[in-house]
Structure 1
């Protein structure tokens, strides 16, 4: 049994149940029950029509719950009875389910959790493990989210930008727990891109593919970070890079550039360089200029300053960095890098140490501490 295929039809099955009269929360619960049954029975007796099987079992489960609740008698009259035998509904409402799970009324954390349940088909236990929280905590979060969206019309137009933000949040969570959230986010974004036919969604997919391609080289065996310039590029996934560049080129060709497409363009230039020294920093600065004009983002301004330091020299980079708010996360790390590049090792070592104290991520803190120690040793020698 291919679990990816199984999870791929989950939002379609939820949508079928909602169309038949179930509210979103009840439909999602019923589909989860059907998934459990599928995982139990399919290995020995796989159905010819996975979606139809899930619809049938989930609908029966929903009716059982309705019938057992006396307070819902009137509703039971409206939804009772199974549809006549025949093909499963062919309307694909997956995009509506995406929109529903990324509803603006939800917090980002709740939207991510609900998307992983209702669109990705993950269990509460899997989601809790991925986010390193107790299963009961995650169950409460999902329940609250379902109650919130169940009061909203399923036919209400959704916000594609909100869905993209939720999927990018999933992607950036990385690889904790027994579910690879980065890979899952890519799978869902492929699905969304096929449905949405939107260049910025394609830009998100390209960005994910290009970042994910570098994953095998990003950390050492001991878990420590490997800076981009020091990564073994032979470990990069060339197939993902090729696909990411192709998706990006098709998106850019539509001449409706957005933030995610421009970020992907920067990532593509890094991926295209066979060595760190061959990186086209001048063109990267140009992409950052366009991105800055579009977003006026302090983070983009910070990244641009580092790129300027590579393209035009450390002093030019430091001049660009002087225009960035020093309270911004990673400002000290960027300053340390540029001062080291400029030859001011003592100041760079002090800034690396300060950046390490401010770092929230353990791996990043360890890396910055090692950088400070390395420069102290060089100065002492």
Structure 2
């Protein structure tokens, strides 16, 4: 069984443990231990029922931890009260819900439910998002840190604090939909980069959420995902090399999906309750509607980026706006707009290189592309930027 299969099973197994009575933090810890055991044992002896195997092992890990904690507390209580040692031969685990829940062996998709549980009202948004990406989305701490634009240590602290906060909490107060939407979008984006293929799963869950909740921003996010996903086939060539939007063969875009995404977006916009995902979907729709980069309505794109930034300040959106300004008003104006983007924002150097190339400044563009290649976090992106540098007369380094 491959790693993506394990990632798909993780929320199902956590869901079973939580329904049996485990607190979320303990359930997640137990499932992580079970996954490590699976990676050791399965290559030599794969189980016939991987889901059942993981549930059994994770539940045993949880019970072992719970018994150990119960025993520790009992020893402390006995020491304080100087009570007579009580025999532990009764066989009771002291854990609520230790008996299997009827029907839990059947295939139940708890993923969306777990997304809402991780968005618990007791958690700050940043911690809720980090915990969900780690426990349900299967992302590593490094991937989450890149999505948040913060150091890995910060993400690790957020996850630890979130798990401590949820320890012992009754998970009967799901969090609000805005946090769930943010997590779904981050998971989709991580999958869309190609490093971890989670885009299809995020799209599936967003469709599920859209079918169950009448909310314009849910529709906006769904439209955004559908429109982005429609271009996926054109994003890499036969050698798996990255192809940026401007160089994609638009005949490979999924016209039916684009039509669907635009229809979903239009229905959301007709509600006259504009939100950030609808604004982003409108930007994606303008790109999807254009026959080429040159024929794109860049002026309208700048206007939509302005709307997006009014709704929520976002350094990545500001970076993309600068590129749009470069096309709508000229490269010099684009570079001026880029001055307002912090140097720490990923791909800023690449955007600067692109705008210099747009201005006809080949030497500076080549040097900046080389710098951007050195800063790139993925190998396909690094190779693409290095090729751009060489094409403009830069060094032959890769």
User: Normalised by the size of structure 1, how large is the TM-score?
Assistant: 0.69
Matched, 1:171 2:184: no
Instruction: Find the counterpart in structure 1 of residue 302 from structure 2.
Output: 285
* Alpha-carbon shift at residue 23 of structure 1 (Å): 4.7
Q: 1:163 to 1:240 in 2, by over 3 A?
A: same
Correspondence for 1:183: 200
Would the aligned equivalents of 1:202 and 1:251 in 2 still touch at CA under 8 Å?
Answer: yes
Gapped regions of structure 2 (runs ≥ 5): 39-45, 75-90, 104-108, 144-157
Task: Kindly indicate which of the two structures has a greater share of residues assigned to helix.
Answer: 1
CA distance in 2, matches of 1:243, 1:25: 39
Q: 2:382 aligned with 1:361, yes or no? A: no
Tell whether the 8 Å contact from 1:217 to 1:231 is kept in structure 2 after alignment: yes
Q: CA deviation at 1:279?
A: 1.4
In the alignment, which residue of structure 2 is the partner of 1:224?
241
Aligned twin of 1:203 = 220
| Secondary structure of the corresponding residue to residue 376 of structure 1 | coil
Q: 1:351 to 1:94 in 2, by over 3 A?
A: closer
Pick closer, same or farther for the CA change 1:343–1:193 going to 2, 3 Å.
same
CA 95–14 in structure 1, closer or farther in 2 if over 3 Å, else same: farther
Maintained 8 Å contact 1:171/1:185: yes
Q: Deviations over 1:243-281 (max 9, x none)?
A: 222222222222221212111110111111232232111
Is contact 1:288-1:300 (8 Å) kept? yes
> Does the C-alpha gap of structure 1 residues 116 and 339 become closer, same or farther in structure 2, counting only changes over 3 Å?
closer
Are the structure 2 counterparts of residues 77 and 325 from structure 1 closer, same or farther at C-alpha, using a change threshold of 3 Å?
closer
Aligned to 2:315: 298
C-alpha RMSD over aligned residues: 4.7
**Is residue 364 of structure 2 the alignment partner of residue 347 of structure 1?**
yes
Q: Does 1:275 align with 2:296?
A: no
**Structure 1 unaligned blocks of 5 or more:** 43-52, 87-91, 118-126, 132-140
Give the superposition deviation at 1:312.
2.2
Residue 155 of structure 1 pairs with residue 172 of structure 2: yes
Per-residue deviation, 1:343:
1.6
Please give the TM-score of this superposition, normalised by the length of structure 2: 0.67
Aligned length: 342
8 Å CA contact 1:96–1:154 kept in 2: the answer is no
Shift of 1:98: 2.2
Alignment of 1:48-197 (within 5 A): 97-103=114-120, 104=123, 106=127, 108-116=129-137, 149-174=166-191, 180-197=197-214
- 2:136 is paired with a residue whose SS is helix
Q: Could you tell me how far apart the structure 1 residues matched to 2:168 and 2:332 are?
A: 56
Q: 2: CA distance between counterparts of 1:109 and 1:80?
A: 29
What SS class does the counterpart of residue 175 from structure 2 fall into?
A: coil
Q: 2: distance between equivalents of 1:7 and 1:159?
A: 23
- The aligned residue for residue 270 of structure 2 is 253
Does structure 2 retain, via aligned residues, the 8 Å contact 1:241–1:271? Answer: yes
